[in-house]
Amino acid sequence: MSLLALITLTPALIFPQYSPLKPTGKFDVETKIDTYIDSNRIETYSDANQYRKITVQYWFPKTSNGKFPLLIFSHGSFGIRTSNLSLYKELASNGYVVCSIDHTYQSLFSTDIEGNLSLLDKGFFSEVISEDAHTNKQLSFEYYQKWMGIRASDINFVIEHIIAKTNSGSKDTVLKLVNPSRIGLMGHSLGGSAVLSVARMRNDVDAVMALESPFLGDIVGVKNDEFVWNEETFPIPILNIYSDSTWDRLEDLPQYAENADLLTNDDAISFNIHFKGARHMTLTDLALSSPFLTRVIDGQRASMDARYSLTTINKLAVEFFDCYLKNICPFSSNDSY
């Protein structure tokens, strides 16, 4: 709430003018916002006894021809659906339909197509701020189950809605472009954890990119004050991108144990990349739109240039998904940038 007040009082300081990254693909990019209602779930963040409402935004090639792979994005804790805008535009310009989800009440704010505003839930904010996997693993596990349950349900609902509409021959500007047999997932922080969780659940997801995200959905319990993990090999290719915020601490952070294991696990198809000099929020467009807020949230200034960081993420994402969703391979990368 204090952050919202600060943004309101000093917008010029918080969000100075900046030049966004320009997409490099051959397609011009269009965008569209929709709000969907999940009639199978009652909203748990409200006492109004209403169905959960999810607002999404699409970025897609400006064309009436062809079918394109679908990419779903989940933002981080307190994030917003436009958190990685340059990534969405870059992928759309290269022939993808990108759908970014506002996780209502877990987003800083969300505005539906009728103009109704939903703010971050105070209880969720308190849970995220107070959670500490070092001191109380059982409570952390309960939070993870709760957060992943809500987010995974949001993501699955959106995917199922898109597939159903596409398969029924929808004439919708966006949905008629979707190839429902080619699906990839992306997310930052808690959103990355959510898409990693969903990738375990579905057999129609082909690849997933996680921007500094622990495998929270793979924690199945707590025993002797240690997390118990799902030991099955991750079923699809993963692109994990890390900043200095976690890279040297993966083995010390209990919730990142599976991430640390993937650095030496030859069974999984896993690409693990470290952006030297980057911080957690440098992996989002906030680093461009508000260097001040980025520094405040990260606790220090990143030494990696934000434009270089985001441009490199965009390039890696296109090459990764081109390989595993379009069969334009191989995908190869350095382990650090």
Query: What are the residues facing 61 on neighbouring strands?
Result: 29
How many whole angstroms separate alpha carbon 293 and alpha carbon 80? 14
> Does residue 332 belong to any structural domain of this protein?
no
The structural domain count of the chain equals: 1
> Does residue 167 belong to any structural domain of this protein?
yes
CATH number at residue 86: 3.40.50.1820
> Does residue 335 belong to any structural domain of this protein?
no
pLDDT at 9 over 80: no
How many Å separate Cα 263 from the centre of its chain?
Answer: 21
Task: Output the pTM of the full model.
Answer: 0.94
What pLDDT shows up at residue 11?
A: 57
DSSP summary character for residue 72: E
> Does residue 6 belong to any structural domain of this protein?
no
Token pair 């940038």 is at which residue?
337
* Contact (Cβ atoms closer than 8 angstroms) between residue 260 and residue 230: no
* Bond into 330 cis (ω within 30): yes
Q: Which residues contact 218 (CB under 8 A, 6 or more apart)?
A: 196, 197, 200, 229, 230, 258
pLDDT digits (tens, 9 = 90+) for 48-64: 899 999 999 999 999 98
Structure-model confidence comparison of residues 8 and 75, the more confident one: 75
Task: Measure the CA dihedral 329/334/335/337, to 10°.
Answer: -130
Q: What are phi and psi of 280, to 5 degrees?
A: -55, -45
> Does residue 11 belong to any structural domain of this protein?
no
Domain region containing 191: 21-326
- Cα angle 30, 31, 32; round to 5: 135
What pLDDT shows up at residue 15?
A: 63
**Average pLDDT for residues 244-271, to the nearest whole number?**
95
Token pair 């434009």 is at which residue?
307
Q: pLDDT class for 4, splitting at 50, 70, 90?
A: low
DSSP summary character for residue 34: E
> Does residue 336 belong to any structural domain of this protein?
no
> Does residue 16 belong to any structural domain of this protein?
no
CA dist list (Å): 42 to 46, 53, 268: 9, 9, 37
How many whole angstroms separate alpha carbon 327 and alpha carbon 206? 11
> Does residue 4 belong to any structural domain of this protein?
no
